[in-house]
Amino acid sequence: MTLRLSSLSEVAERFDAIVLDQWGVLHDGTCPYPRAVAALERLRARGTRLAVLSNSGKRAAPNLDRIAAMGFAPDLFDSVMTSGEALYQDIAAGRVQPRALFPIERSSHDAQAWASGLAVNLVTDLSHADGVLLMGLPDAADLTAIQTRLDQALALDLPVFCTNPDRASPRADGQLVT
């Protein structure tokens, strides 16, 4: 059965814990959605456990910092987990073992911050990589150049570790970057 809600409060008391996405649910990438902070504060005050689950290519801590900077108190959340964090933990535990990754990132130095603490080298030449780290694309990305890099990675039979598979990302004022 599908239930159309106008507010999370209509069903929140049925649950001990609620898992939320961040982009497009809590915020638009720039600021929280109206009443989102107050709604989560009310849920937390009544004892609801809250978690953020995101396909962000970055690790959990920078995502918590981002939402905290938007006005969500860090102690609202029992857990923050991202796809970037999942890959980081898999590499740290030896479940995935790349030694040299060619990064494709949304912002300069995202990959460097992400890889801190790992025994992984970030390389600028695909021929020296044993995998591609695809964290996201800049808003004004040259898609032809990125496609060329991915085609080269395919020709080299390199695995692509995609920590942010978004086809589109919400931005302020309802803009959607594709």
Which pLDDT tens digit goes with each residue over 41-66?
999 999 999 999 999 999 999 999 99
Return the higher-pLDDT residue of 108 and 52. Answer: 52
Give per-residue pLDDT as tens, 78-105.
999 999 999 999 999 999 999 999 999 9
Separation of alpha carbons 108 and 73, rounded Å: 27
Residues 71 and 32 sit within 8 Å (Cβ to Cβ): yes
- Note the pLDDT of residue 175: 65
Q: Over the chain, what is the mean pLDDT? A: 91
Separation of alpha carbons 63 and 25, rounded Å: 14
Residues 125 and 157 sit within 8 Å (Cβ to Cβ): no
Instruction: Report the predicted TM-score, pTM, of the whole model to 2 decimal places.
Output: 0.88
- Note the pLDDT of residue 132: 97
- Note the pLDDT of residue 173: 65
Residues 170 and 56 sit within 8 Å (Cβ to Cβ): no
* pLDDT range class, residue 171, cuts 50, 70, 90: low
| Share of residues in the chain with pLDDT > 90 (%) | 75
Do strands 176-177 and 169-170 pair parallel, antiparallel, or not at all (unpaired)?
Answer: antiparallel
List Cβ neighbours of 41 (8 Å cut-off, separation of 6 or more): 73, 76
